[in-house]
Amino acid sequence: MQLNDRLEEKFRLDANQKKALNKLKIFSVADLLFHFPVRYSDISEVKKITELIPGDMATIYGKISKLKTKKSFRTKIPMGEGEIEDLSGKIKITWFNQAYLAKMIKNGENVKLTGKVTKGKNGIYLANPEFEKMPDMPIDSHDTLFKKNNISNIGFSYPIYTETRGITSMWFYHAIEKILKEKTLDNIEDYIPDDILKKYHLPTLKTALIWIHKPKNKKDAESARKRFAFEEVFCIQLERQHDKFEYRKNKSFQIKPNEKEAQYFLERFPFSLTNSQKKSVETILADMAKNFPMSRLLEGDVGSGKTAVAATAAYATVNQRPQDKNGKLQNFGNLQVAYMAPTEILATQHFESFIEYFGGNATTWTPRVQVGLITGSGCRKFPSKVNPGSWTTISRAQLLKWVANGEIPILIGTHALIQKTVKFKNLALVVIDEQHRFGTAQRRKLIRKDGVAPHLLSMTATPIPRTLALTIYGDLDLSLLLEMPAGRKQIITEIITPNKREETYEQIRKELEAGRQLYVICPRIFEPDPEKELALNVKSAVAEAKRLKKEVFQEYEIEVLHSKMSKEKKEKVMQDFSEGKINILCATSVVEVGVNVPNATIIIIEGAERFGLAQLHQLRGRVIRSTHQAYCYIFAEAKSEKTVERLKALKTAKNGFELAELDLTLRGAGELGGTKQWGITDLGMEAIKNIKMVEAARTEAIRLIEEDPELLKYPLLKQKVHQKSGEFHFE
């Protein structure tokens, strides 16, 4: 069998299997080999039902029956029940609070359950077990495959694959078996350089492929997973380092700020910079003084003052004359800055801040600088000719003309800013606020024909662990704002268990009576579909708004805000909230509230155990700009001490980074979101837990790109990197 062979030519596949493989995007033998097990199940840990002892955590296999859901008699908590039977006996199962689980399995199905053996009034039962469907499991089947291994006593493990209807883990197991038997891997070439494998004790591709699918023991499986996790991070690093290398090949305007002028500018702020801000400003100015473009990421919590840092960089930029071809400063014109925000609201807010910073006034030395705003709904320019203290609307054509001839040095806008139609005369700095990645393709658009590229400053408030930042932002240098401006009131954060709910509402009522406003963040928009019941206990924004109006805050105006509402409706609600016409806003966690309402000083977050700490921290950030004392109430459904302990970190952590690191150690890389959010697979995320591995991948990638930027000596590796990333373009 060859790696490129199509599966349907080598295997007899029925219609369902074909469909399933299609869905998993598995077409060739190679695709199948690179479809890795998500984990391994260990049959040696399985117990017989008759051997169970109360108090143990136990795993059992068996057939399910008598499934039903009901409400508990006393507490009215929904619960699920059933029975499981193996060859030795029967035991009851109970799911408290998770009735939906009972709906995800059917009577007669074979499952593996892991739960706590508990003694009840009517005998022992398995409490809140996790389950896994095992359609072909060994107990009742005549498959000797697993039994044979079991006897040989090597601690047997069988692979579990992402399954989809029509295809099982067992099918994968046999298919891989067949591929391996036919010696398909004998001539497979490794794309990872040999010396790197040796240095980090990683198995070769051939060995790793065998070990990941058919491990003899845990160690082999781990070793194989380690290799593929390393490989993924290494490939991402190669791509990012190559990006960086490419961008740095360009020339840039060298910006050498005049110390004294910079000082004047800093004095314009009604505050003095924090140490973090000062350090970031210094690093950025040093970067911009070089003759190749900066690529820097400024990370800092909401409210840490990123705008002031960016404004200072912008100031240094617009105060300098452009250089001519020979590097000599011209005695006319000035350099330009583009400032990109993710939404129109934010772009407009930045425009207003910049007018303050750059507007100039009689008492300071600073001259005024023209600032433009470009968004989908129109263009503005400051200052207005008629009313020099203010801005005026202008036509897009006029604005573009003044940007193109260099008359407007600072242009703020949404991503419309880097469209082809927007031409700058001397674009020297691009600030990108809150956009996760500014990829190769977007960057390339910024490079001028004469090979001059602007300095890039990206900014984000999304706190992520260092290992993840080093990986996904491998092409950027990092600056962190670790402290908040002094004098800022801390948000008082409380973890509220269900028994304290009423009390808490009364405290909140006092704040509402004093005229403050409240956000209520819910994990869902609508009531869960009763058929699915997957999220039985998760509050929905719509239902919660109704409930609060009916049962708790009758006297107040309550509205909802969620992503399924029309843009107009959303804006209307936000407007009413910021004008105080609405007292309580029930929103989902995903909806970006967008504008800053200083009078909204209280935030409730429902279903807190569902969120990571870093995410909760970001949600809480909505009340951080309040002028009054702000409060955050984290409502946890569970009483579990572990949950409450974890959430307590929100009261003690100094910043979002600390919380992101905690998420990683407490709940693992899965907590951070994989493919969807960062473009890293679950296996790759395993590497994110491992700082040594991430650093190794980074060091090797930097070395390789330095030695051989186009990877000419490593064609297989180049191909792999290319295949893994849609964006990678070697010349």
Binding-site ranges for ligand ADP (CB under 6 A): 271, 273-274, 277, 300, 302-308, 461, 485
The residue ranges of DSSP E strands in 547-678, in sequence order, are 558-561, 584-588, 600-605, 631-635
By beta-carbon proximity to ligand ADP, the closer residue of 13 and 302 is 302
Helix (H, G, I), strand (E, B) or coil at 579: coil
CB of residue 302 to ligand ADP, shortest distance in Å: 4
CB of residue 656 to ligand ADP, shortest distance in Å: 11
Pairing of strands 110-120, 410-413: unpaired
Q: Which two tokens stand for residue 29?
A: 């033998």
CB of residue 112 to ligand ADP, shortest distance in Å: 47
Residue nearest to ligand ADP (CB): 305
**Which residues are within 8 A (CB) of 652 and not within 5 positions of it... i.e. 6 or more apart?**
none
The closest of 524, 520, 581 to 548, measured between CA atoms, is: 520
By beta-carbon proximity to ligand ADP, the closer residue of 262 and 538 is 262
By beta-carbon proximity to ligand ADP, the closer residue of 300 and 413 is 300
Q: Are 463 and 614 in contact (CB under 8 A)?
A: yes
By beta-carbon proximity to ligand ADP, the closer residue of 229 and 311 is 311
Helix (H, G, I), strand (E, B) or coil at 431: strand
Q: Are 232 and 681 in contact (CB under 8 A)?
A: yes
CB of residue 273 to ligand ADP, shortest distance in Å: 5
By beta-carbon proximity to ligand ADP, the closer residue of 276 and 493 is 276
CB of residue 617 to ligand ADP, shortest distance in Å: 13
CB of residue 377 to ligand ADP, shortest distance in Å: 22
By beta-carbon proximity to ligand ADP, the closer residue of 459 and 705 is 459
Per the DSSP assignment, residues forming a β-bridge with 42 are: 157
Can you state the angle between helices 306-318 and 275-288, rounded to 10 degrees?
30
CB of residue 155 to ligand ADP, shortest distance in Å: 52
CB of residue 210 to ligand ADP, shortest distance in Å: 50
Angle at 228 between CA 222 and CA 231, to 5 degrees: 140
CB of residue 436 to ligand ADP, shortest distance in Å: 16
3-state helix, strand, coil in the chain (%, to 5): 40, 20, 40
CB of residue 491 to ligand ADP, shortest distance in Å: 14
CB of residue 458 to ligand ADP, shortest distance in Å: 13
By beta-carbon proximity to ligand ADP, the closer residue of 299 and 533 is 299
CB of residue 252 to ligand ADP, shortest distance in Å: 25
CB of residue 281 to ligand ADP, shortest distance in Å: 11
Q: Which residue is it, tokens 């790793």? A: 208
By beta-carbon proximity to ligand ADP, the closer residue of 91 and 373 is 373
By beta-carbon proximity to ligand ADP, the closer residue of 59 and 274 is 274
Per the DSSP assignment, residues forming a β-bridge with 338 are: 411, 430
The closest of 160, 140, 138, 159 to 148, measured between CA atoms, is: 138
By beta-carbon proximity to ligand ADP, the closer residue of 274 and 334 is 274
Gyration radius of the chain's alpha carbons: 30
Distance CA 93, CA 111 (A): 12
Q: Are 146 and 158 in contact (CB under 8 A)?
A: yes
Q: Are 337 and 314 in contact (CB under 8 A)?
A: yes
CB of residue 363 to ligand ADP, shortest distance in Å: 19
- Distances in whole angstroms, Cα of residue 685 to Cα of each of 151, 381, 387, 507, 678: 35, 46, 55, 42, 10
By beta-carbon proximity to ligand ADP, the closer residue of 303 and 594 is 303
User: What are residue 292's phi and psi, to 5 degrees?
Assistant: -125, 155
Terminal-residue alpha carbon distance, the chain: 34
User: What are residue 269's phi and psi, to 5 degrees?
Assistant: -65, 140
Helix (H) or strand (E) holding 703: helix 691-707
Instruction: Tell me the CB-side half-sphere exposure of residue 707, using CA atoms within 13 A.
Output: 10
Per the DSSP assignment, residues forming a β-bridge with 194 are: none
The closest of 137, 132, 134 to 113, measured between CA atoms, is: 132
By beta-carbon proximity to ligand ADP, the closer residue of 274 and 317 is 274
Helix (H) or strand (E) holding 362: none
The closest of 591, 241, 670, 622 to 461, measured between CA atoms, is: 622
CB of residue 600 to ligand ADP, shortest distance in Å: 16
By beta-carbon proximity to ligand ADP, the closer residue of 353 and 370 is 353
By beta-carbon proximity to ligand ADP, the closer residue of 307 and 578 is 307
Per the DSSP assignment, residues forming a β-bridge with 521 are: 587, 605
Amino acid at 516: R
CB of residue 626 to ligand ADP, shortest distance in Å: 11
Q: Which two tokens stand for residue 327?
A: 């590097």
Distance CA 731, CA 727 (A): 13
By beta-carbon proximity to ligand ADP, the closer residue of 125 and 519 is 519
By beta-carbon proximity to ligand ADP, the closer residue of 494 and 592 is 592
Distance CA 718, CA 415 (A): 32
Distance CA 212, CA 442 (A): 37
Helix (H) or strand (E) holding 717: helix 715-724
The closest of 408, 426, 308 to 368, measured between CA atoms, is: 408
